[in-house]
Each structure stands twice: as C-alpha cells, then as structure tokens.
Amino acid sequence: MEERYWQKEIETAPREQIEAWQSERLIDTVKRVYENVPYYRDMMDKAGVKPEDIKSRDDIVKLPFTCKQDLRDTYPYGLFAVPLKDVVRLHASSGTTGKQIVVGYTKHDLEIWDDCTARQLVATGADENSVVHVSYGYGLFTGGLGLHGGAQHIGATTVPVSSGNTQRQLTIMQDFGSTVLCCTPSYAMFLAETAEKQGIPKENFKLKAGIFGAEPWTEEMRHEIEKRLGLEAFDVYGLTEIIGPGVSYGCHAHDGMHVNEDHFIIEIINPETGEPVKEGEQGEIVFSCITKEAFPILRYRTRDIGYVKYEKCSCGRTFARMSKPMGRTDDMLIIRGVNVFPSQIETVLIKMGYLPNYQIIVDTKDNLDTLAVKVEMGEQHFDDVVKEINRRESELAGELKSLLGVNAKVILCAPNSIERSEGKAKRVVDNRKK
C-alpha cells in the first residue's frame, strides 16, 4: 500500500532540517517565556541561565526541568505565556494522579494540534472518505476534541460520539459505517467483547483502523483487538501538559510512535540524576513545546518510561520514534523490592491465553507487600471444576514468578466480574497508600 502523509515535506524532512527547526524555535520560545512568564524567569534566574545562553537545540540541557508540581503551584493560569483574551480553549487533565491541572490554547495552538492528530489519522490510511468515530471522552479531557480536530481537518466525516453507552456506540458504528475508531484500548476491547456477546459479527462493521491510546497497553493486546474488531490498531500518545493526543503517532511499521518533532523536542533522562541517557536506553521521557503560544512548557518531566530512536522508519518518516511507554514512574509497583509495571503483568496474562480483564491488588501483611492478580476466565473455562481452576491459578502464578520475579496470588474469577472502563482502565488497587 502506498504510504500517505499529511504534511510530507515535514514528516519526511532530513534530520538536519528538523534540528534546524528545533534550534530556531527553541531559541524563540525560551525568549518568549522568559519575557512573559515570571515563574519561568525566576526558575531560569535561579538556574543561572539566560535566554542568550540557548544558541541551539543542544543547549536545552541548560534549562531547568518543569514538573507536575510547577503546574499545581501556578494553578490555574500562572504558566500561560499569552493574556487570557488570546486563549480560545482550556483543557484540564483527567486527574488520574492527584489534583487537576489546566492548560490553554490560542487559535494557532489549535491549528497545530489539528495537524498533529491529522498526521496520525492519515498515517493509518484515513482520508476524506473516512468516517471517524471518536469515542474518547469529550470535555476537559483532551482525547475527544483532540482526535475530533484532526478528523475534521483532513475532511473526514467526523462522528463525535464521546464515551459511554456501549450499546449506542455499536449501533452507530454499524449504521453510520464508521471506518476509524478512536478510543482507549481498554474500551476498544470492551466494545469487541460486547459485540461478540450480542452475536454481532465483525463483518457488520466497516472498521479499517483504530487509534488507541491515553493509557498503557501491550503489543499483545494490540493484536487481540485487531483480531476481534477486524481492523489495524495504531498506538497514539499524548498528554494534556504538552498538547493532548498526537504528541507522537503510530504508523504501519508499528515500531514506536513518531514524535511531532517540528513542534516538540523529546529527551530521555535518567530519572534519578536528570542526565540524558544514550540513544535507545530506557529512561523518563521529557518534552519541550517549541511552537505553542499559550502554554509552551519546557523540559516537562512526563514520568512516562520509554526510549527513543532516530533511525529512519520503513514508512519513510524521519521523525524520531519513541517506544510505547511501559507506564509512568508513579504506576510502577515496588513489590518487596521488585519493580513491576502493570503492563508486564498484562503481557503474561495475554500470553497465557487470558483477556486483559484484570485487576492488580497490592496490600501489606505482617509488614510485607502482597500482590494479588484477579483475572477473568473466558466463558470456555468457567465450567471447569475447582481442581482445574486451581491448576490454572498456580500455572499463572508460576509464569508471573518466572517472568517478573515476584510472588503473586492469582485469583481466577467469573467472566464480566471486573468492572469495565469507558475511558482509562483502572488496573491497580494499592491498599498500601493510605
């Protein structure tokens, strides 16, 4: 299939060109925030760095980091670099981790955002003939309006369903002939399950592509969704603080997500020392916005863990590719000293033939951490005798132990007994955090 691009000259630009854009735009942004945002000026003054010290993109390491706490300290508008009269839209984080934060967009910022999600859509093969079904939540959460903007931008027929009401989603997908589905991967899985339960064959859908993100998911789960919904599933990444979905986007190569490097600079750092790590090495992902007017955050520590590579992709794009983040540092569970990400548990479950309907329960007993994993059985296992269920539980526990190095109590439970999410799935219940 011929590869399609939204902005070919940019998406396939030579690396020197991308770096030149980054240098020029970073220099400009640093000047702008120094002049317009007292909070940044203070931070830079304290770090002993002046706008003149930033002469190219490589000088970015001289700038101080920003983190979620800076957004909270300046809540609501303290980091805005333009007057509120120039801000045409506000969004806020869904508050998965703590107090919400707010970000703003000028008209130009929204245009940039539309381009970012348009690039994702076109990379999946979407065009003006597509019917783009957006089941990410609309509202302050960036998911819905983010993909919505890109879909309209490419001239696709945009269906702003928003999240919830699964029955209606399935009816609309069939009646309106949706060809691209945008939602969280856990919700895509739930849509597939519900369709199967109702005996709706996947041939009733015209889906070609799925754009799934906003939460960690595994490659195993991607294949599972593809099989069940009969589409090609693409990973999309973003966060409210940077712009929303479309900070980076998946392509047909499915080997990392292309960072929109003409708008954002990505760095990977050692989360303990703050020093950059080598290319390909895992660390904390840091982003700087270099074209945004209202909320041009610099060196923002995402707490997402991943790596980046710069070699040209088989799709022809030259933008760096970041790995699927395996989770946030704050999602990482430390169980008796062993680091475990929920996504690693998910990989094991799918490999062993279970669907990713699970819950991880962490607790303490006699001052020691305990880990329990509740996993739904498939309908085909539900009739099994207790002995067989016990065998399956210890088999899974053995697999978790050998792959992750932790002891986990596995509890197999009835199909549909774990609550489904219409947005981001809540996989972990940590009773230790009291």
Is residue 163 within the footprint of ligand ADP (CB under 6 A)? no
Is residue 237 within the footprint of ligand ADP (CB under 6 A)? yes
Among 70, 114, 215, 267, binds ligand ADP (CB under 6 A): 215
Q: Which amino acid, one-letter code, is at 326? A: M
- Dihedral sign for Cα atoms in the order 174, 178, 181, 183: negative
Query: For residues 201 and 230, is the Cβ–Cβ distance under 8 A?
Result: no
- Residue 96, contacted partner among ligand ADP, Zn ion, none, CB below 5-8 A by kind: ligand ADP
Minimal distance in Å, beta carbon 386 to ligand ADP?
37
| Omega cis (within 30) before 76 | yes
One-character DSSP codes across 89-125: EEEE---TTSS--EEEE-HHHHHHHHHHHHHHHHHTT
Is residue 251 within the footprint of Zn ion (CB under 5 A)? yes
Is residue 112 within the footprint of Zn ion (CB under 5 A)? no
Is residue 104 within the footprint of ligand ADP (CB under 6 A)? no
Minimal distance in Å, beta carbon 236 to ligand ADP?
6
Residue of 259, 242, 241 whose CA lies nearest to 250? 259
Minimal distance in Å, beta carbon 214 to ligand ADP?
5
Is residue 315 within the footprint of Zn ion (CB under 5 A)? yes
Is residue 428 within the footprint of Zn ion (CB under 5 A)? no
Provide, for the chain, the percentages of residues in helix, strand and coil under a 3-state DSSP scheme, each rounded to the nearest 5.
35, 25, 40
Specify the residue, 181 or 410, whose C-beta has the smaller distance to ligand ADP.
Answer: 181
- Residue 313, contacted partner among ligand ADP, Zn ion, none, CB below 5-8 A by kind: Zn ion
Minimal distance in Å, beta carbon 356 to ligand ADP?
14
d(CA 388, CA 374): 17
Q: Under 8 Å CB-to-CB from 152, ≥6 apart: which residues?
A: 114, 158
- Residue 253, contacted partner among ligand ADP, Zn ion, none, CB below 5-8 A by kind: Zn ion
> Is 361 buried (19+), middle (13-18) or exposed (0-12) by CB count in 10 A?
middle
Specify the residue, 80 or 212, whose C-beta has the smaller distance to ligand ADP.
Answer: 212
Specify the residue, 185 or 377, whose C-beta has the smaller distance to ligand ADP.
Answer: 185
Is residue 304 within the footprint of ligand ADP (CB under 6 A)? yes
- Residue 315, contacted partner among ligand ADP, Zn ion, none, CB below 5-8 A by kind: Zn ion
Q: Is 335 helix (H, G, I), strand (E, B) or coil?
A: strand
